[in-house]
């Protein structure tokens, strides 16, 4: 009788399926509960607390305002904004700001930003070498 019962429970495919299903539901429920109750949830991901960003220093803000925000702002164009939106700079985390600063230095040094067409039409607003250096020094400080 015992053996018959055991065989019945463990070999019957319908009961096995039901048991598997119940196990899956339980595991999912436990993990969801852990996620919801996680104390670091308000800080973003569980093990990497996010440091809030800071406003651009005045010296950098001045350059960005003049040479970048025609495109990289809420009033700019969507393609540029998807990379950096200076209207939302202070919403970026410190980590993201440091990444973006590095990218700004790179694009300015290569001369690929501001774009060619913009440079042609705004020759007197193109960042000077001193301004490019200022952006790169600022980026280096954020990324050290």
Decide if residue 62 touches ligand HEC (CB under 6 A).
Answer: no
Shortest distance (Å) from residue 90 CB to ligand HEC: 17
- Distance between CA atoms of 24 and 45, rounded to whole angstroms? 24
**Residues making up the chain, counted from first to last:** 144
Binding ligand HEC (rule: CB under 6 A), the pick from 98, 104, 134, 142 is 104
Decide: 135 and 129 in contact? Cβ < 8 Å.
no
Binding ligand HEC (rule: CB under 6 A), the pick from 103, 109, 133, 136 is 103
Q: 128: helix, coil or strand?
A: coil
Residue 13 tokens, joined: 């495919």
**What character string, x for contact with ligand HEC (CB under 6 A) and - otherwise, covers 114-143?**
xx--x--------x----------------
**What character string, x for contact with ligand HEC (CB under 6 A) and - otherwise, covers 13-52?**
----------------------------------------
- Distance between CA atoms of 41 and 30, rounded to whole angstroms? 16
Residue 58 tokens, joined: 């005045």
Binding ligand HEC (rule: CB under 6 A), the pick from 53, 56, 60, 71 is 71
Decide: 122 and 68 in contact? Cβ < 8 Å.
no
Nearer to ligand HEC, 50 or 131 (CB): 131
Bridge partners for 87 per DSSP:
none
**In which residue are the tokens 């930003």 written?**
113
- Binding region for ligand HEC (CB under 6 A): 67-68, 70-72, 77, 79-80, 83-84, 103-104, 107-108, 113-115, 118, 127
């Amino acid at each position: 009788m015992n053996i018959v019962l055991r065989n019945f429970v463990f070999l019957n495919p319908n009961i096995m399926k039901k048991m598997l299903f119940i196990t899956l539901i339980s595991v999912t429920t436990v993990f969801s509960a852990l996620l919801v109750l996680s104390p670091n949830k308000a800080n973003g991901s569980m093990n990497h607390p996010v440091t809030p960003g800071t406003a651009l220093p005045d010296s950098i803000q001045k350059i960005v305002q003049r040479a970048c925000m025609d495109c990289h702002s809420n009033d700019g164009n969507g393609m540029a904004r998807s990379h950096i939106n200076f209207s939302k700079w202070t919403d970026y985390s410190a980590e993201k700001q440091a990444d973006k600063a590095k990218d700004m230095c790179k694009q300015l040094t290569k001369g690929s930003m501001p774009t060619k067409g913009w440079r042609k039409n705004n020759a007197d607003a193109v960042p000077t070498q001193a301004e490019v250096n200022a952006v790169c020094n600022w980026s280096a400080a954020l990324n050290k």
